[in-house]
Structure 1
């Protein structure tokens, strides 16, 4: 699977609201349902960005071609700007596209409850994701996972 990453300057360069607006604009395609769904999730997403959940764990978008991972930069990293990557994305969302935002603890519980009514936007807990679910929130069957190591042999 191809993965595309973006690193968005957030606080103190932008407010959490401005950061979410930029993310929405980067991934939105005119005439698609993405913008409306992202607007429905705006308050929750802004809270999670302000709490810096997206600093180390990405916002993950699937169902739009390659997987997209969006990180936010905060503090000196945002001010320095040397690792900022804010180019727009050219995506085509299918009907099953999903945007997953990281959160932990009570922020996770609150975000999960608020986003329950938003069809394409979910929240994931990075502390539990590797053991039982993919970043898109789909169950992973670890028993059926097979890695072909022959390509690594000399």
Structure 2
């Protein structure tokens, strides 16, 4: 079972798409300064995806040796209100070890986004935004059950 952490960033009109990517990059690379340049190299591509609202219902998937981080964006009135935002610092390094990031994008844009990302990074890729929803559903349907041995707890 994979541990998952969620963060939700306020985007347009609270901040533009490039500033949103900068805030996401700052969160991810806070403890991994080596990744800052790589995240910066894809800023234009990532901000295009954010501007298209692909991250509204489909997350940016950040995988590493630790928990997976799923990052969503808020737009319009939700971004202004900000009550559903959670941009808090993570309690772990989300880019620890062999990390990767997968950006959601519209099906029509997937080809050019993958090609553009491939020229900049081998760790940052793109997926069709509907793929993450399928994965969420699969994760939820395969939920683990927790059994507690109450008798074992009472033994000295």
User: TM-score, with normalisation over the residues of structure 1?
Assistant: 0.80
Moved segments of 4+, more than 4 Å: 128-131, 147-152
Does the alignment pair 1:39 with 2:40?
yes
* CA radius of gyration, larger in: 2
**Residue ranges of structure 2 left out of the alignment (5+ in a row):** 137-141, 148-156
- Which of the residues 117, 122, 125 maps onto 1:119? 122
Does the CA-based 8 Å contact 2:21-2:47 persist in structure 1?
Answer: yes
Paired residues in the alignment total 140
Does the CA-based 8 Å contact 1:24-1:38 persist in structure 2?
Answer: yes
Deviations 1:95-132 (A, max 9, x none): 4200110012232111111001212100001335677x
State the 1:149 CA deviation: 7.7
Distance 1:113 1:86 in 2: 30
State the 1:80 CA deviation: 1.3
- Matched with 1:26 is 27
- Matched with 2:88 is 87
Say if 1:73 and 1:109 are closer, same or farther in 2 by CA, change over 3 A.
same
Does the CA-based 8 Å contact 1:29-1:92 persist in structure 2?
Answer: no
User: TM-score, with normalisation over the residues of structure 2?
Assistant: 0.79
**Residue ranges of structure 1 left out of the alignment (5+ in a row):** 136-146
